[in-house]
Amino acid sequence: MTQGKKILLVDDDSDFRSATRKILESGGYKVVEAASGQEGYQKAKSESPDLAVIDVIMETFSEGFNLIKQLGSDEWTKGIPRIVLTSLGLQQEMDMVTPEELGTKYIIQKPVKPAEFLALVEKALRTAPQAKKDELGDV
């Protein structure tokens, strides 16, 4: 059961965060928001989310990519599964970076359809390996 899990939502668009928060909360998830890559990284470390949903392109073109790489290389956050949001076409996005480089196979295009998004969140949570943070204990 994945209801009640904590989701970190990182996007610089406050309207999108608000709408997406409502979708996630309707699915029974707790939501922690961040408006930038740096804030997202800090909240990933302090909040220990079960999943991170990250917009690829925020204030700068590479901000989301940088956050994804940072999370994947940090001992405390590398076990957090990620869903990548993109406003670019998926093919255009994949021409720039592969899912392996993003550290996830879960990529969804904006605007998100609520049922499709919740199904992807559920799948990502169900198939995620036990997070490294659980093995390390509380920070």
Q: Kindly tell me if the per-residue pLDDT of 67 is higher than 50.
A: yes
Q: Which residue has the higher pLDDT, 8 or 127?
A: 8
The 10s digit of each residue's pLDDT in 28-51 is 999 999 999 999 999 999 999 999
Domains identified in the chain, total number:
1
Residue-number span of the structural domain to which 31 is assigned? 6-126
Dihedral class, residue 5 (left if φ above 0, else alpha if ψ from -120 to 50, else beta): beta
pLDDT digits (tens, 9 = 90+) for 74-111: 999 989 999 988 876 544 555 556 656 666 778 888 88
Residues 67, 41: contact at Cβ < 8 Å? Answer: yes
Residue 122 lies in a domain: yes
Q: Is residue 139 part of a domain?
A: no
Pairwise CA distance, residues 93 & 107, whole Å: 10
